[in-house]
Amino acid sequence: MRNLSVLKSIASMLFIFALAGCGKQDTSSTDFQALKLFPQGKPFSGFQLTSHLSESWQAEQFKGEYSVVFFGFANCPDICPTTLLDLQIVEQKIKATGTQPPRIIFVSVDPDRDTPALLKDYIEYFNPDFYALTGDEANILSIASQLGVAYRVEDHEIGDQVYDVDHASALFVINPQGERIGLFTAPHQADAIAADLIQLINQS
């Protein structure tokens, strides 16, 4: 039996805010409705993932534009589909203002079931412009630990299709320099998230 029961908890939310980063965070405008900025931007690296298009994703692929990163799994019955629908609304609201929306990136914490082919069908059902990433356990843990994400996969045999997965529901904001700069905690309100992202992107 694969030992997947160890809680992959990297930090409580208070500890996340205490994490030191390497980039200077601009806090000149902090009147956001829902976005919680970290004191400093924090880069992350040392992992290799695969996208729903079977393309390699490393730290470099997170650079160049703003991104909103969400961790979950395709068999999630409620949090993941609800959040992805919310993010679909967020993207529409941002586009309506003429602002370039951030990339929406879904990272699966369930690599045994969530293959790139399965994730392609899953993510494109919500929005063909969204991205989905997967990888082996070590690489998923690497990016999750650096961003401050907690998740747990129930013990199961290889090939099992029914087992529980628990995961945090926060949305992590990545700047164009590839640094984690903030997050949106649940419950998610599409209007507030869209307004905050428009403000963040336009003041950059």
Q: What is the pLDDT of residues 171-200, one digit of tens each?
A: 999 999 999 999 999 999 999 999 999 999
The verdict on domain 13-203 having CATH code 3.40.30.10 is yes
List 134's β-bridge partners, or say none: 50
Residue 68 one-letter amino acid:
V
Write out the two tokens for 191.
């209007």
Task: Produce one character per residue of 171-185: b if its CB has 16 or more CB atoms within 10 Å, e if not.
Answer: bbbbbeebbbbbbbe
Query: What is this structure's pTM?
Result: 0.85
Mean pLDDT of the chain: 87
Enumerate residues 6+ apart whose C-beta is below 8 A from 115: 134
Domain boundaries, the chain: 13-203
Give me the residues paired with residue 154 across strands. none
Q: Is the pLDDT of residue 13 over 50?
A: no
Residue 17 has pLDDT above 90, yes or no: no
Quick: pLDDT tens for 67-87.
999 999 999 999 999 999 999
SS (H, E, C) the chain: CECCCCCECCCCHHHHHHCCCCEECCCCCCCCCCCEEEEEEEECCCCCEEECCCCEECHHHHCCCCEEEEEECCCCCCHHHHHHHHHHHHHHHHHHCCCCCCEEEEEECCCCCCCHHHHHHHHHHHCCCCEEEECCHHHHHHHHHHHCCCEEECCECCCCCCCCEEECCCEEEECCCCEEEEEECCCCCHHHHHHHHHHHHHHC
